[in-house]
């Protein structure tokens, strides 16, 4: 019985070590050009086997957060590449500003929203809300409502592009938060469903009310474990496809 439980314990240890290293990299404890500790150094520091460290490194390499240089060691990937990889190779997150634009339709403001506050785990019903269209070549393909905890929303109040309905601009909300949060965003929990277009959504997206839309909800979490953003997006299916690569655990 003890031998059967041993692999699960090793897996738990390497996942915990990978999370700690991931958080340190996203906090830029190892800026570009600075070598991460070796397998032997990490094994001694954390009191684990070198095999455990090796498995943790393998995960970080697969995510694109680090790369190995033969004869020199392991180094953090450049900052932009870290974000594109960290969010699971889904190219509609940090990379959205590359070939799309954000057009604010509801400026950032404080409001009471019991549901959003509950999903963000807040002890208050107060949140900050922002709504915008995402456009590609002047065609709106997505409407997103963003809800932020009050302390996070206040960080974005000085951004003039969010203060009033605007012409399209090259921003993403998580990109704006990146340089302002005390801890960087580490991960996002996502759910995908289908929803009918309300009259308001239909007017923004140029479709008929009741049209079936792809709804994607994401809750973003910092490396410190704080829920920092709830984003609810509705996509026109003819202008958007969703792709993600899945792989077997341990491969």
- Show the beta-strand stretches assigned E in the chain: 66-69, 73-76, 101-112, 126-136, 139-148, 185-196, 212-222, 227-235
Q: State the pLDDT at residue 208.
A: 94
Residue 165 to residue 176: CA distance in whole angstroms: 17
pLDDT at 3 over 50: no
Q: Tell me what pLDDT residue 88 has.
A: 44
pTM above 0.95, yes or no: no
Place of tokens 């409502």: 145
Q: What tens digit of pLDDT does each residue of 70-85 get?
A: 888 898 887 655 444 4
Strand partners, 210: none
- Compare 17 and 145 and report the one with higher pLDDT: 145
Model confidence band, residue 205 (pLDDT cutoffs 50, 70, 90): very high
- CATH 1.10.10.10-classified regions of the chain: 2-85
Pick the more confident residue, 180 or 23. Answer: 180
What are 214's two structure tokens? 């792809």
CB-CB contact of 147 with 78 (8 Å): no
Contact 204, 133 (CB under 8 A): yes
Q: Is residue 23 pLDDT above 90, yes or no?
A: no
33-56 average pLDDT score: 90
Interior/surface letters 36-64, b for 16+ CB within 10 angstroms, e for the rest:
bbebeebbeebebeeebbebbbebbeebe
The pLDDT of residue 242 is 64
Task: Bin 54: left if φ > 0, else alpha if -120 < ψ < 50, else beta.
Answer: alpha
Look at 155 and 95; give whichever has higher pLDDT.
Answer: 155
Q: Residue 7: what pLDDT?
A: 42
Which pLDDT does position 10 carry in this prediction? Answer: 43
In the chain, where does the domain assigned CATH 3.40.1410.10 lie?
94-239
State whether CATH 3.40.1410.10 applies to domain 94-239.
yes
Grade residue 12 by pLDDT with cuts at 50, 70 and 90. Answer: confident
pLDDT, position 215: 94
d(CA 72, CA 34): 10
d(CA 223, CA 109): 26
Per-residue pLDDT at 154 = 96
179-200: string of b/e by CB count within 10 Å (b at 16+)?
A: eebeebbbbbebeeeeeebeee
**99-151 tens-digit pLDDT:** 578 899 999 999 999 999 999 999 999 999 999 998 877 888 899 999 999 99
How confident is residue 218, by pLDDT bands cut at 50, 70 and 90?
Answer: very high
From 1.10.10.10, 3.30.70.20, 1.20.1090.10, 3.40.50.1240, which CATH number describes the 2-85 domain? 1.10.10.10
Strand order across the beta sheet in which 212-222 lies: 101-112, 126-136, 139-148, 227-235, 212-222, 185-196
Mean pLDDT of 41-66: 87
- Crossing angle between the packed helical segments 79-86 and 2-26, to the nearest 10 degrees: 140
pLDDT category of residue 248 using cuts at 50, 70 and 90: low
């Amino acid at each position: 019985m003890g031998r059967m439980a041993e692999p699960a314990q090793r897996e738990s240890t390497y996942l915990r070590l990978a999370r700690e290293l991931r958080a340190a990299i996203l906090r830029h404890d190892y800026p570009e050009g600075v070598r991460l500790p070796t397998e032997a150094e990490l094994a001694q520091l954390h009191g684990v086997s070198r095999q455990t460290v090796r498995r943790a490194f393998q995960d970080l390499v697969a995510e694109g957060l680090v790369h190995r240089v033969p004869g020199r060691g392991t180094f953090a990937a450049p900052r932009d590449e870290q974000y594109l990889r960290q969010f699971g190779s889904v190219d509609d997150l940090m990379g959205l500003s590359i070939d799309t634009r954000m057009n604010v339709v509801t400026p950032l403001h404080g409001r009471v929203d019991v549901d959003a506050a509950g999903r963000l785990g807040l002890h208050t019903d107060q949140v900050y809300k922002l709504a915008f269209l995402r456009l590609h070549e002047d065609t709106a393909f997505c409407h997103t409502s963003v809800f932020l905890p009050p302390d996070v929303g206040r960080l974005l109040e000085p951004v003039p592009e969010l203060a009033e309905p605007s012409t399209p601009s090259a921003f993403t909300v998580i990109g704006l938060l990146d340089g302002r949060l005390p801890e960087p965003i580490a991960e996002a929990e996502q759910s995908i469903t289908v929803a009918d277009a309300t009259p308001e959504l239909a007017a923004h997206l140029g479709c008929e009310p009741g049209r079936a839309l792809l709804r994607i909800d994401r809750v973003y979490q910092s490396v410190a474990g704080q829920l920092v953003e709830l984003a609810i997006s509705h996509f026109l299916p003819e202008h958007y496809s969703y792709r993600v690569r899945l792989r077997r655990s341990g491969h």
